A and B are shown apart, each in its own frame.
Chain A
Amino acid sequence: MPAPSGRRSAPAANPYLVCAAAWAVPGGGHLFLGRYQKGLTLLVVLPLMFASGLWIQGRIFPFQFSDLLVGLAAVADLGIGLPYFLAKLAGAGAGNVIAITYEYGNTYVIVAGLLNMLAMLDAFDIAMGRK
């Protein structure tokens, strides 16, 4: 079924380059494609959500696939891109399991990464001319 017409346009950039930009910098894919309002909003909201999660004692999970949920959480954490590596460099994300906000912090960090993956797919669709 043909998709409805709208702001659809022909592919303007290499979709895989757009994906890489969108993953590395939250909102980067949209900025790359000239969708400045979306890009700037994502650039503010997603890193802020990630940082808030770390601030309330959330943890950056290790890639430990012997416990599947820990491994999957690590993949989700990595979804935020550059802020993940900055947090690692700064020594953040150790988590404090006895803090009352620990689980909330984990949820913030994981969901920020997953939302950035969603933003990456949206940018990919735009670059492919599907949106």
Chain B
Amino acid sequence: MDTTSHLGLLLVFSAFVSIAFAVLARDEPREQLTFGAKLFGTFVGSAVLLGWLLYPLPL
């Protein structure tokens, strides 16, 4: 993976945080997997959405 890709770094960050939160917040492995996947999707989805919402704004 290109280590300077913003999206790549976002995906890796989201994966790390989702795993840690899922492991701390849920006890059963299946629940951890479901919760972690939801968190990951929310992280990435909201970042992409915010990116598009900010797109029209001038730098």
A, B assembled together: yes
Contact of B29 among A37, A56, A111 (CB under 8 A): A37
* Cα separation A100 to B8 with both chains bound (whole Å): 13
Q: Is A75's CB within 8 Å of the partner chain B? A: no
Interface size in chain B (residues, C-beta < 8 A): 14
Contact of A41 among B3, B19, B27 (CB under 8 A): B19
Interface size in chain A (residues, C-beta < 8 A): 24
- Cβ contact within 8 Å between A104 and B13: yes
- Knowing A56-B9, A119-B24 touch, does A100 contact B4 (C-beta < 8 A)? yes
* Cα separation A38 to B29 with both chains bound (whole Å): 9
Q: Which of chain B's residues 13-40 have a Cβ closer than 8 Å to chain A?
A: 13, 16-17, 19-21, 23-24, 27, 29
Q: Is A49's CB within 8 Å of the partner chain B? A: yes
A-to-B contact residues, CB < 8 Å: 6-7, 37-38, 41-42, 45-46, 48-49, 52, 55-56, 100-101, 104, 107-108, 111-112, 115, 118-119, 122
